[in-house]
Amino acid sequence: MSVQIIRSAAVIGAGYMGGGIAQSLAASGMKVTLADVSPEATQRSLERLLGEARDFEAQGLLTPGSYDRIMTNLRSAPSIEEAVRDVDFIEEAVFEREDVKKEVLGRISAAARPDAIIGTNTSTIPVHVLAPFVTGQERFLTVHFSNPAPFIPGVELVSGTETTKAVVETVKEMLGRVNRQSAEVADRPTFVLNRLQYVLFKEANTIVEEGIATPEDVDTIVRSTFGFRLPFFGPFAIADMAGLDVYVNGFVTAENAFGPRLSCPDTVRRLVAEGKHGVKNGAGYYGQYSKEEAEALVAYRNKAYAKMAEVLRELGPSPLEAKKNAKSRG
């Protein structure tokens, strides 16, 4: 039986991903042990992480007291075995290669407590590929943070065929204490985050290669139009608010121009055929919307977008935007 509440952790791999995960766990009050390829590399990473945490707090990026909590809770270990020996949860965050992960996961599972939960931060490799390297596959799953880990709240959870529900629930509870939002997804290559991200990136490259827009202008469109909505709503919520019937009509133009790869999804056609057009007529991907729910959603949306615009004005243009403007002037 695995632990019910995770109170201590080890992070194996102290690069920017692993280090950021370690900072996040330690800042929440958990005892965290860090290990990398050598004691010297681990110590250098620990010093870097403490310096970053101090700077982040001074810049207002972490809540007051975070640096002290990280200083108190984060330590280094001379080896992987020492780091994982008596902790509740281990997060493997080494280089994204099967052979590297195979060795490290084998060492982790051999030295960890039998009830310790083992997570991997892989961003693309399926659980079923890595699980055979772990002793006690019922305690193993993907716990995929995003870079930079101290600031991005979403975490993908991917179970293997042997992973128990209790293990998943224990990890979800821990992530809640670390102010992270978790989503369970099926065990498929690239999961959900990178599948969507890679599709967008590939289509963006095609647009540039066809001479439709420059990389800079594609980025401007993404971040200032539909990307502007994404911190608050995903594609299904956005479709419900836009109108599913509008999407069906839009896909006619897309399919005529680009063929079946941009044909209307069957689910959208079915919902519209059933008279479910989204928020505007009270039913869509998110089920039924009462009049009060629809009004509250639209009010939240308007406030969210206005606040986002305010934040962007406060921050000013990114260095890349300034670079784009200078390029256009030149």
DSSP 189-228: TTTTHHHHHHHHHHHHHHHHHTTSS-HHHHHHHHHHTHHH
What's the rounded Cα separation, in Å, for the pair 14 and 36? Answer: 6
Residue 244, token pair as written in the block? 């599913």
Measured from the Cβ of residue 135, the count of other Cβ atoms closer than 10 Å reads 15
Neighbour-count burial of 4, counting CB atoms closer than 10 A to its CB (0-12 exposed, 13-18 middle, 19+ buried): exposed
Q: Are strands 287-288 and 283-284 parallel, antiparallel or unpaired?
A: antiparallel
Residues 323 and 245: their CA atoms lie apart, in Å, by 40
Top CATH class, 8-185: alpha beta
Q: What is the DSSP letter of 134?
A: S
Any residues with CB less than 8 A from the CB of 299 and at least 6 apart, and which? Answer: none
This prediction has a pTM of: 0.91
What's the confidence (pLDDT) of residue 329?
Answer: 67
Per-residue pLDDT, 4 = 85
**Positions in the chain short of pLDDT 70:** 1-3, 329-330
pLDDT at 324: 74
Angle, in degrees to the nearest 10, between helices 319-329 and 215-224: 130
Topology (CATH level 3) of domain 213-329: N-(1-d-carboxylethyl)-l-norvaline Dehydrogenase; domain 2 (1.10.1040)
DSSP string, 244-291: HHHHHHHHHHHHHHH-GGGPPPHHHHHHHHTT--BGGGTEETTEE--H
Token couple for 297: 């959603």
pLDDT reported for residue 273: 98
- Return the domain boundaries, the chain: 8-185, 213-329
Write the pLDDT tens digit of every residue in 52-61: 999 999 999 9
Q: For tokens 């982040």, what's the residue?
A: 56
- Whether the domain at 8-185 and the domain at 213-329 fall into the same CATH topology: no
